[in-house]
Structure 1
Amino acid sequence: MAGNGKALQPIIVKRIKKGGHAAHGGAWKIAYADFVTAMMAFFLLMWLLGSTAKGELEGIASYFSNPVKVSLMGGNGSGNSNSIIPGGGRDLSSAFGQRDSGDTERTTKELGAQMSRADMARKEQERIDALESKINALIAGNEKLGEYRSQIRMIKTPDGLQILIVDAQNRPMFDTGSALLKPYMQDILRTIGGSLGDVENRIAITGHTDALPFGNGDRGYSNWELSAERANASRRELVAGGLPDDKLRRVEGLAASVPLLPDKPYDPSNRRISILIMSRDYEDRMFPPALPAAPVPGAEPGVPDTPAAAAPAATEGPVSIVPPLQISANLTKPPETSHDHGGSKH
């Protein structure tokens, strides 16, 4: 070939190496695992919400509605310091950043107080429900009182459980124009008084009349005095039935100022006795604790301003202490001739 003068052409051999098929993947497994994890977390959350008391849920919600700085920004290192000078804060021994735990402590206390109030409200509602069932059972189990069931009403209000004993057309609770109770009314009140003996809440009693004017009202005895006397007579029967006298917070007469049927001011149902088992919240709002007297400028602590304040003269008489019981009308009654009701019935 060389003799022929032709150059040899190189022979190029290309070897193509075929690889195997790539593995058919497992990416779907990762996505599926994420989905299962999310579903597990969701159902776990649902289970926790279902098994948590309402009061605790309210406390948790109030906490997240007022997040604190520490919970959002981390610990109390120098990165959280509001000062360019290392150290400072409430802990003067700290050399690295401020330590102000006041907000955290206050928030923790507020959260605890809110949860405590919610828990107390729930327990109080349970007690009121149990009391309502107890009174209903006592009345239903007493044949004598069962006849008057239509005149006894129990209403749950934001202020507590209200028990109303109302007049019927031909079945009054009191003698006409007086505070003398009918025998059946005595039985009802004593039964209710016995059921309230172990109740922790305080009691308020209110007397009401209809809008018929009292006979001879110009002599000073009106529906105001009559309603107050009837409320006080009811108090005596409740105490006789077993209600501790120190449970009473207020006894008052409102005459016809708060009718049960505003459109029918002369209806017998407006003549009623209201017994309110007060909720703690209502009692706190209506009867806040007395604030301590402000000190007199310049006076020495513990020393009265005048000798009269330290030792009253004997001519002043004994010091009267106002009891918790309040009667909101003048109970001074005129001579018996004023019981003539002038044709009206209360």
Structure 2
Amino acid sequence: MENSQPIIIKRVKRYASNTHGGSWKIAFADFMTAMMAFFLVLWLLSTATPLQRAIISGYFKDPVGFTETASPHVIDLGGTPTPAPERTQNIEQDGVMSEAQPQVVSAEEISTLSALLEFERMEMLRIELQNKIEESPELQRFKDQVLIESTRDGLRIQIMDAENRPMFDLSSARMQPYFEDILLAMADTLALVPNKLSISGHTDARQYSSKDFAGNWELSTMRANAARRALVAGSYPEEQVAQVVGYASSALFDRADPFSPMNRRIDIVVLTRKAQQALEGEPNNAWGRDAERPAQEDPLPAGEVRERMNLFRDGPLQMDELKQQ
């Protein structure tokens, strides 16, 4: 008996394992990379100091102009920024490519902007140093001995002796360990700005002498130089030190008490550009070092010079005499 039931053959089409492709894997990898970079940026911003964030922000606002007043490279890739071409790439309505019109900025505006930028940099440095002192348990014990203030010449950091806590051994330039820790902690923060330093030593009115030096002038100079060595040991660039000088007791902090321990101090001044130029003898006027200067008047005879300057008279020069001259 023949079987009349039809025979049904099912053929299952098998697909290769990579039928859908791997594009989704690439997209997912790109997404994960972007998320990792995003969270890395957030982490860097949360750990960066206010001064570092200000430096990075200033670089991205003006990459070319920023190098004139700050660190030359945020990330040194070995190249240098170049100015824009003489012609723009914007085609005007008439189809003729026009030359770019340079923006004219006066020297006064440049000086003002530079001063404002430098003031902001000094203020950020002051905040950063104060935060470092407040956040460090070792430095917080000595915060009463550290005075940070803005002056005409720059940001001044004064580290003073306390009654029972001197910075140096008596009549010596040997530094106490706590004072060395203060300088080492400040060195990396001071190195963040390109401004140079002036370091000066001061003593009180007591007269010190030893086999190593003759008096307070030598002692104050040696102590200032010891502070310089500590900063350099803390990774501060040695070429950024513009001046090391000793004042002995000629510039007392507490003039009412010449023997006060506050008069024994080390002054570190982060110099402004103008103060640095004055210190290094650079011209700060309209004429450069080699530029032609206006002709001077013929010199006066010696007798007339003395008469005008009133060098050999006793007592102050009266206003009536000034008017007559």
**TM-score, normalization by structure 1:** 0.51
Of 197, 206, 213, the residue aligned with 2:200 is 206
Of 281, 288, 313, the residue aligned with 2:281 is 288
Write out aligned runs for 1:32-51 (5 A): none
Tell me the secondary structure at the aligned position of residue 180 of structure 1.
coil
| Bigger Cα Rg | 1
2:175 matches 1:184: no
2:115 matches 1:121: yes
Aligned to 1:222: 215
Aligned to 1:278: 271
Distance 1:232 1:184 in 2: 17
2:249 matches 1:256: yes
Distance 2:242 2:259 in 1: 30
Tell me the secondary structure at the aligned position of residue 140 of structure 1.
helix
Asked whether the 8 Å contact 1:166–1:273 carries over to 2, the reply is yes
Aligned to 2:236: 243
Superposition misfits of 4+ residues, deviation over 4 angstroms: none
Aligned to 2:187: 193
Asked whether the 8 Å contact 1:205–1:251 carries over to 2, the reply is yes
Asked whether the 8 Å contact 1:196–1:242 carries over to 2, the reply is no
Percent sequence identity over aligned pairs:
36
Distance 1:175 1:215 in 2: 13
Distance 2:109 2:209 in 1: 55
Aligned to 1:103: none
Asked whether the 8 Å contact 1:209–1:227 carries over to 2, the reply is yes
Aligned to 1:148: 142
Asked whether the 8 Å contact 2:213–2:219 carries over to 1, the reply is no
Summarize the Cα distance change of 1:220–1:198 in structure 2 as closer, same or farther, 3 Å threshold: closer
Amino acid at match of 2:218: E
Tell me the secondary structure at the aligned position of residue 284 of structure 1.
helix
Distance 2:123 2:116 in 1: 11
Summarize the Cα distance change of 1:216–1:198 in structure 2 as closer, same or farther, 3 Å threshold: closer
Distance 2:208 2:143 in 1: 29
Asked whether the 8 Å contact 1:174–1:182 carries over to 2, the reply is yes
Summarize the Cα distance change of 1:122–1:183 in structure 2 as closer, same or farther, 3 Å threshold: same
Of 126, 133, 136, the residue aligned with 2:127 is 133
Alignment gaps of 5+ in structure 2: 1-102, 284-288, 293-325
Write out aligned runs for 1:13-52 (5 A): none
Distance 1:216 1:116 in 2: 52
Of 148, 162, 169, the residue aligned with 2:156 is 162
Asked whether the 8 Å contact 1:205–1:235 carries over to 2, the reply is yes
The Cα shift of 1:139 comes to: 1.0
Distance 1:245 1:215 in 2: 29
- 1:183-229 C-alpha deviation (Å, 9 max, x unpaired): 00000011111111121111000000000011469x96100110000
Summarize the Cα distance change of 1:225–1:117 in structure 2 as closer, same or farther, 3 Å threshold: same
The Cα shift of 1:118 comes to: 0.5
Asked whether the 8 Å contact 2:171–2:210 carries over to 1, the reply is no
Amino acid at match of 1:189: L
Summarize the Cα distance change of 1:183–1:257 in structure 2 as closer, same or farther, 3 Å threshold: same
Amino acid at match of 2:182: I
Alignment gaps of 5+ in structure 1: 1-107, 295-346
Distance 2:213 2:230 in 1: 27
Aligned to 2:258: 265
Distance 1:156 1:191 in 2: 20
Summarize the Cα distance change of 1:182–1:220 in structure 2 as closer, same or farther, 3 Å threshold: closer
Tell me the secondary structure at the aligned position of residue 161 of structure 1.
strand
The Cα shift of 1:121 comes to: 0.4
Amino acid at match of 2:194: E
Distance 1:216 1:245 in 2: 29
Question: What is the root-mean-square deviation in Å for CA atoms of aligned residues?
Answer: 2.2
**Whose relative contact order is higher, 1 or 2, with alpha carbons under 8 Å and at least 6 apart?**
1
Distance 1:214 1:150 in 2: 26
Distance 1:229 1:250 in 2: 13
